[in-house]
A and B are shown apart, each in its own frame.
Chain A
Amino acid sequence: MKIGVVTFPGTLDDRDAARAVRHAGGIAVALWHNDADLHGVDAVILPGGFSYGDYLRCGAISRFSPVMEPIIKAALGGMPLLGICNGFQVLAEAHLIPGALTRNHELHFLCRDQKLTIENTNTAWTSSYKQGEEIVIPLKNGEGAYMCDDETLAMLEGEGRIIARYVGENPNGSRNLIAGVTNEGGNIVGLMPHPEHAIDSLTGPSADGLGFFTSVLKALVK
């Protein structure tokens, strides 16, 4: 199974995302922001970083880069798509996921190991986890506060579309401790913390993040 990993100018975590794909048993395919097609990949990851220097708003310029056109089209047709951190911001700017990511409520850039609960295991990216499972993966962001209006929040809660929540003190001011959200079809997931930095105990705080990558491989085999 071929998983595309997009590199925008300013992307940081593409190498770790590709490594996570390989570690899970998939084939990682490098996609460039200027690519007009997806080189036959079965799923796409938008990794973290500071694409286009976070100019204007995080993800606002990347959202209109050439590679996003086929990605949006394929994802609306059911292709699994994961946006991590800056990738989550791109998904929100592209309105593939409701809401927006705004500046952390305490203004500080965060970088720490974060405990989460997995709250929805019926998505293309979370089926390897158990409902309510607690995991620890790195969180590193300056603009990670998930915001949406009350109506959207009630809809997300009602439909079980919050896939992961922070445990303990709210790290960044996200509404209802939201760390990750999925779309209606469960194929698109936006996640603020970084599972690709936690795939083995040698390089990460745990191997807890690997499940996102094994999940999508399972979803593609089905």
Chain B
Amino acid sequence: MAKIVVDVMLKPEILDPQGKAVAAALPRLGFAFAKDVRQGKRFEIEVDGEPTAAQLADVEKAAEVLLSNPVIENFTVRVEK
């Protein structure tokens, strides 16, 4: 069984108040390393066997239509073993 992973992130020019809140919380806990934090979503889609090219094309389509909103978000699709 393989996993198709879709990562969805707000476009860089879109303000991410949640990421900002996380970035502000880190130094309060003593973690001083973060210059910036952006928060996104990760979808794990399980398929039987090795994903086919057609399945991956369908996932791309689903990511564009449903999993992300292309007005404000970018996405990437990859296969995880």
Which residue numbers of A lie inside 8 Å of B, CB to CB?
A: 56-57, 60, 64, 92-93, 95, 98-100, 102-107, 145, 147-149, 173
Contact = CB atoms under 8 A, between A and B. Distances in A.
A100 B10 CA distance: 12
B17 A99 contact: no
Interface string B8-49: 001001110110010000000000000000000000000000
B66 interface: yes
Contacts of B17: 103-107, 173
B70 to A, nearest CB: 9
B72 interface: yes
A56 B14 CA distance: 18
Contacts, number: 36
B69 A57 contact: yes
Nearest to B41: A56
B66 A107 contact: no
B69 A105 contact: no
A68 to B, nearest CB: 13
Contacts of A57: 69
Given A103-B17, A173-B17, 16 more contacts: A56-B66, A56-B67, A60-B69, A64-B66, A92-B71, A93-B69, A98-B71, A99-B71, A100-B71, A102-B10, A105-B15, A107-B21, A145-B15, A147-B14, A147-B15, A173-B15
B66 A102 contact: no
Nearest to A106: B17
Interface of B: 10, 13-15, 17-18, 21, 66-67, 69, 71-72
Contacts of A93: 69
A103 B14 CA distance: 10
Contacts of A56: 66-67
B8 to A, nearest CB: 9
B72 A102 contact: yes
A173 B16 CA distance: 11
Given A56-B66, A64-B66, A107-B21, A100 B72 contact: yes
Contacts of A145: 15
Contacts of B71: 92, 95, 98-100, 147-148
Contacts of B14: 102, 147
A145 B71 CA distance: 14
A102 B69 CA distance: 11
A104 B16 CA distance: 10
A92 B67 CA distance: 15
- For the complex of A and B, 3 pairs with smallest distance between CB atoms: A100-B71, A100-B72, A107-B17
A173 B21 CA distance: 15
B33 to A, nearest CB: 23
A100 B71 CA distance: 7
A48 B18 CA distance: 23
A102 B72 CA distance: 9
